[in-house]
Amino acid sequence: MRLLLLDIETAPHVAYVWGLWQQNVSLGQLVDSGYVLCWAAKWAGEPEIFFDSLQRSKPKKMLKGIHKLLEEADAVIHYNGSKFDIPTLNKEFLLHKMNPPSSYRQIDLLNTARQRFRFASNKLDYVAQALGIGKKTKHRGFELWIKCMEGDEEAWAEMEKYNKNDVVILECFHSGFKRFEVIISRAVASPFPVNSDNLGSGYTLNHRRVF
């Protein structure tokens, strides 16, 4: 079974707001919606880390790289990816008129942490340090995302390091959690949520695959 570890970074939504606290932003205030800035991925047990970004490639070419890896994966390991990374990529594939990837199973290690353990916090950085497997790469904060959106080369180098390290941490998580064989076996045996017909029966693509 080929296990793909995946993490993406996205640009924030941009909107006009009247204040800084408890704002209810309407669609009329939305200037631009978020999009994928970059992604990092690796095959479990293999040393190479794949990475692409809007700095290196045009949007569709960047997306084709991760799409190809998802096509080859039997299962995808992520952290909150079932609610964030995978739906975000699916949206991007749809907007760029790309077919959805072949069916694959998802192992969301955030769900594993929440359902099977009781850490003081389920944030990736906290659990990683609690398990002694490393920590997230420090960065300059929200400014990093803004600078990347502006094309700053130094910021992009920092973002690449940050993104890749998250994938390394994910693999360490998975290795640690494998000792709880019931957890991992149940995760791998789960349905294919990414390919459930949540766009409606009217949306069909090649090979009868749907998001």
Tell me what pLDDT residue 91 has. 97
- Crossing angle (nearest 10°) for helices 85-95 and 59-72: 120
pLDDT digits (tens, 9 = 90+) for 141-158: 999 999 999 999 999 999
Tell me what pLDDT residue 199 has. 27
Number of H helices, E strands in the chain: 7, 7
Decide: 67 and 96 in contact? Cβ < 8 Å: no
Is the pLDDT assigned to residue 8 strictly greater than 50?
Answer: yes
Two structure tokens written together for 181: 């064989």
Decide: 98 and 70 in contact? Cβ < 8 Å: no
Amino acid at 79: Y
Exposed e or buried b per residue across 104-135, where buried means at least 16 C-beta atoms within 10 angstroms of its C-beta:
bbbbbbbbbbeeeeeeeebebeebbeebebee
Q: What is the gyration radius of the CA atoms in the chain, in angstroms?
A: 18
User: Rounded distance, CA 137 to CA 77, Å?
Assistant: 20
